[in-house]
Structure 1
Amino acid sequence: MIARKDAAGARRTGSHPGYLAAALVFAVGMAGTTLPTPLYGLYQEQIGFSELMVTVVFAVYAVAVIAVLVLAGNYSDAVGRRPVLLVAMGLSAASAGCFLLEAGLPLLFAGRVLSGGAAGLLSGAATAAVLELAGPEQKGRASFAATAANMGGLGCGPLLSGVLAQYTSHPLAWPFWIHLGLVAVAASVAWSLPETVEHPRRRAPLRPQGLRVPPEVKGVFGTAALAAFAGFSLLGLFTAVAPSFAAKTLGVTDHAVAGAVVFSVFAASTAGQSLTQRLGASRALPAGCGVLVVGLALVGSSLLAESLALLVLGAVCGGVGQGLAFRAALTLVSGAAPAEHRGGTISAFFTVAYLGISLPVVGVGALAVRLGLRTAGLVFAGCVILLAAGAGLYTALRPAGKRQTGAR
């Protein structure tokens, strides 16, 4: 087992950046993964492809994330946090370069694959770095900083690119040039971070780690993972096709507005996650599923009424519910997992979550080709409402504490 340095020693107070600097690196990397969201309509006009292809381009990102989680999810445990963060920044920069070249669908796919690789590496290494660089009295704040960096970064990406696309002369170039500058700053910060892994290896073999769900976790894993799948489906919908919904169904063509709508769901998710500790995980999971159901119903209503206000309200409500349920589910799963299998269990949990961010939106794209975006969106909302309601009802009737011992 790889030992961890004492947090206070690792931070060397006054001589090295601390957990907030690691959170900044995390946020910049995650912002790059959602940067293209408000721009897909422009790429459709320039290159010429269907709504289904938009969702496929988006889905390859999730496939790349899952592949990296399975292959290298715990790689930073062996080689150290800092090298993995630097590789993630390199992948993020390469992804931006692919989009800057604007040479057709192959480079869009390549950019999304590279972006997914960066996100997969950051999910484990950056979260661990933020937590390990915090002192004993800072653990609670560091946990929220990691959460806020993840969801906040995902939300800031479309907000930044939407504003730049709307108000600059080169809408498909400026967002990625700005992001390259941010990546350069983040890489220099990552380089200055103290290493928190003792005796990291210079090289370690990459091999599939497997996805384990130990018997101790099975009582809570199914419903927790289902709630995460439903919540991430909502995030996938807004990240992949919400700008198309806004433009083609609601008549909103302002890229800055489209980016702000996507930002709202991630900002709300961050707010929801901040409430989980107050409620307790066992109560926050069914409560979050309930709020998520209301949010999805509002999203569906916005398509029927052709109302931007309802769409934003649905984004905020659904985001709060997703945040509540997601953090509660992760807390219950990680708390129930034995220490020797915790990494594999969490990787399995995130794999289900990222399947939720990809598979349903591809289904929306396929339905949109035959039935139109509005009908596809309504079908999506109905199916995910059933999933979230089922998970919420089950956990409300059978709290985690009654299903297995040790869940927190």
Structure 2
Amino acid sequence: MRLAAPGTLLVLIMAQPNLATGMMPYYRHAWALAPLLITVIFAAYLIALTPTLSLLGTPASRADWWWRIAVGSACGVGADCAMALAHSAVVACVARILAGLSVGLVTGSLAGLILERRGERGRTAMASATVIGSALGTFAAAVVAQYLPAPGVAVYAGHAVLLAGAAAAVVSDRAVRPAAAGSRSGAASLVAEPAAAGYLTGISAWVSAGLVVALLPSYGAELLGTGNLVLLALPVVLYLVTAWLAQRALPPNRLPAEPITAQLIIIAGVLIAAAVAWLPSLPLLLCGGAVAGCGQGLAYRAGLRIVSVAAPPEHHARLSSRFAAVAYLCAAVGTIALGAVASLAAMRDAVPAGALTLIVIVAATAAVRRRAASRAANVPLVSSTTA
């Protein structure tokens, strides 16, 4: 039980901000939300998450884990209560801010706790819990909202009870029983890349996530002419699951120019989803979500490795938090911008605009890498002439 409790809590923490994703078409209809307001609600979570990760997300010691887990879990329960009572976008934004505080406070401490108890296997457990929580939150909320009464209340009330119970189980067990040291053979070497390329790759991954999670369900509802929340949640669920599966199926550095290739896969998926505007088809939308998800998982992994590979292990948590904060902030800005496009033009225009944004980012990544390669190639020449 003590091994399972932190992972269970992480699943529930990551599920909370994704509950609204599965229900967004319902909220759009019930509250008469414009696309811009939908993206503002989504971005409120990222805007709160970013400074929380940067300022409080990396505990200095084990003793600092527990208050973060307790306060962060309380924020998650508060977010559930606010969404259960919400009747407007304003209250929903407050709930999303609480969700951002929850995820930002809790994930770093739970990561430390899971690694302490599981050793190197904990890294796989964390990745699995994050994806399972995100996908399960999206899909379960859609199912409950579609088939049970009082959808705006039942989803959040049930989650609040489970979250409070899991948090109590974790905080009540603070015993130190470290796992046996595991092998670190999986730490494959990485060819030196400029840090800016890593950040741009992470930004591309999360701009696509903002597009898919915030807009794709409403995009599908409008173009496919369906209000079934379960069907509309499927592209997001596929996006999240394939992002995780791609990381597990394809070892790092197997793709040529992995940061560029991963971003091109994302763009291919977004363009497939954009084609739904001309060829309305649920399978086509699902295919777009799945392809973009594969690219997202590979891009986020590649970006994080580029940023952190040269740092000593004790600095990885700080660099990971900084990397995530930059990616989330850019995702929030990009998502609101795409929501503005959908409101001022049409929902069908937002996805091609997202593809164009991602093309600009991959072009910038290629330019940064090319400049760094050129600089590296000139270094020996300079050294030899000055010798």
TM tier, shorter chain?
A: 0.7 to 0.9
Shift of 1:197: 11
Q: TM-score, normalised by structure 2?
A: 0.85
Aligned to 2:124: 144
* Counterpart-to-counterpart distance in 1, 2:111 and 2:303: 17
The number of residue pairs the alignment matches comes to: 363
Q: Mark the CA change 1:392 to 1:239 in structure 2 (over 3 Å): closer, same or farther.
A: same
Long gaps (5+) in structure 2: 179-190, 378-387
How many angstroms apart in 2 are the aligned matches of 1:248 and 1:79? 50
- Alignment match, 2:78: 94
2:155 to 154, 175, 193: 175
Work out the percentage of aligned pairs sharing the same amino acid: 25
Aligned match of 1:243 in 193, 212, 217? 217
Deviation by residue 1:267-322 (Cα, 9 ceiling, x = unmatched): 11111221353545986434322322221221222233222212111111111111
Q: Which runs of 5+ in 1 are unaligned?
A: 1-15, 199-216, 404-408
Q: SS of the counterpart of 1:277?
A: coil
- Structure 1 residue aligned with 2:306: 332
Contact kept? 1:131, 1:142, Cα under 8 Å? yes
Which of 156, 165, 168 is equivalent to 2:145? 165
- Give how far 1:233 is off: 1.1
- Separation of aligned partners in 2, 1:325 and 1:115: 25
Secondary structure, in 3 states, of the residue corresponding to 1:173? helix
Q: In structure 1, how many angstroms separate the alpha carbons of the residues matched to 2:254 and 2:115?
A: 20
Give the conservation status (yes or no) of the 8 Å contact 1:223–1:395: yes
**2:226 counterpart SS class:** coil
Check the 8 A contact 1:280/1:328 in 2, yes or no: no
Q: In the alignment, residue 48 of structure 2 is paired with which amino acid?
A: A
- Counterpart AA for 1:145: A
Q: 1:331 to 1:129 in 2, by over 3 A?
A: farther
Tell me, in whole angstroms, the C-alpha distance in 2 between the residues paired with 1:278 and 1:222.
Answer: 19
Larger mean Cα displacement after TM superposition, 69-78 or 293-302? 69-78
What is the alpha-carbon distance in structure 2 between the residues aligned to residue 62 and residue 324 of structure 1?
21
Contact 1:303 1:378 in 2 (8 A): no
Change beyond 3 A, Cα 1:247–1:319? same
For 1:302, which of 276, 289, 306 is the aligned residue? Answer: 276
Report the counterpart of residue 382 of structure 2 in structure 1: none
Alignment of 1:61-80 (within 5 A): 61-75=45-59, 77=61, 79-80=63-64
For the residue of structure 1 that corresponds to 2:174, the secondary structure is coil
Q: Under a length normalisation based on structure 1, what TM-score does the superposition of the two structures give? A: 0.81
Q: Residue 57 of structure 2 contacts residue 106 of structure 2 at CA under 8 Å; is this kept in 1?
A: no
Q: Secondary structure at the match of 1:189?
A: helix
Rounded Cα–Cα distance in structure 2 between residues aligned with 1:78 and 1:142:
16
Q: 1:41 and 2:25 equivalent?
A: yes
Equivalent of residue 68 in structure 2, options 84, 108, 115: 84
Matches within 5 A, 1:127-142: 127-135=111-119, 139=120, 141-142=121-122
**C-alpha contact 2:37 2:89 (8 A) present in aligned 1:** no
Q: Distance in 2 between matches of 1:226 and 1:58?
A: 21
